Amino acid sequence: MPLDPKLLHTNPMAADVFLGSHKGTILHEIGHYVAANLDGLTCGHIIIPVDTDRHSGAFVPLDLSAEILCSDPARWSLVSSAGVLAEYHFCGRAMVGAARGDFAAYQAVFGLMPEDAIVERWTRDHLDRIAAHAACIEQNFDRCVYYCNSNRFLTDNHHVIPSCEMRPPQQRGLRARLDEAVWTY
């Protein structure tokens, strides 16, 4: 099923099928990638399992990038929220049950609170910013689907896609692009 926001917003059943699929996992992880790169370079890998029944992908920043994210609570909040908010933006709903890791990461920095309260805070604080970069999310979603379908970055039972293969939301200079390629390949 392609990423069709009009269909997904008007047909909850289609949205649920999409979100529970391999492509739903890709959308979620691309949301994290784009948010992580809104305020600076965050290198890493988008990891999508081959097993399409599992909703357990990840955007895994390299150690230095992870340290930078961890040192900035506002950026950490945005990145933690981005998978769920990308789902809300494109589908009108989210697979909140599959985002337990995102909630745990958020709670590790901001303290324990109910998931409903976290989603409400994320929506209030970050949904507009995610929506403003919807075109970037959609473009990278298409790239990631292509890489998964072609098995270009298949390693064992996971597609491990270097972030240098994605289009960042902010323009980067040649040196930054080359550094990212070296670090992630």
In tens, the pLDDT along 53-67 reads 656 899 999 999 999
Buried b (16+ CB within 10 A) or exposed e, 46-55: bbbbeeeeeb
In tens, the pLDDT along 71-84 reads 999 999 999 999 99
In tens, the pLDDT along 84-113 reads 999 999 999 999 988 999 999 999 999 999
Q: Which two tokens stand for residue 109?
A: 């920095």
Please tell me the distance from the alpha carbon of residue 148 to that of residue 31, in angstroms, as a whole number.
17
Dihedral pair phi/psi, residue 160, rounded to 5°: -115, 95
The reported pTM is 0.95
Distances (CA, A) of 41 to 44, 64, 66, 153, 180: 10, 11, 11, 22, 9
Q: Look at residues 59, 62, 119 and name the one whose alpha carbon lies nearest to residue 85.
A: 119
How distant is the alpha carbon of residue 13 from its chain centre?
22
Report the alpha-carbon angle 158-162-163, nearest 5.
125
Please tell me the distance from the alpha carbon of residue 102 to that of residue 82, in angstroms, as a whole number.
9
- Contact indicator for 147, 165 with CB cutoff of 8 Å: yes
Q: What is the pLDDT of residue 52?
A: 65
Q: Which long-range contacts (CB under 8 A, 24 or more apart) does 107-113 make?
A: 109/70, 109/73, 109/76, 109/77, 110/73, 110/77
Contacts of residue 108, Cβ cutoff 8 Å, sequence gap at least 6: none
Q: Which two tokens stand for residue 139?
A: 């473009």
In tens, the pLDDT along 128-181 reads 999 999 999 999 999 999 999 999 999 999 999 999 999 999 999 999 999 999
Q: What is the pLDDT of residue 54?
A: 53
In tens, the pLDDT along 112-121 reads 999 999 999 9
**Residue 38 or residue 51, greater confidence:** 38
Q: What is the pLDDT of residue 55?
A: 64
> Number of C-alpha atoms within 13 angstroms, CB side, residue 26?
28
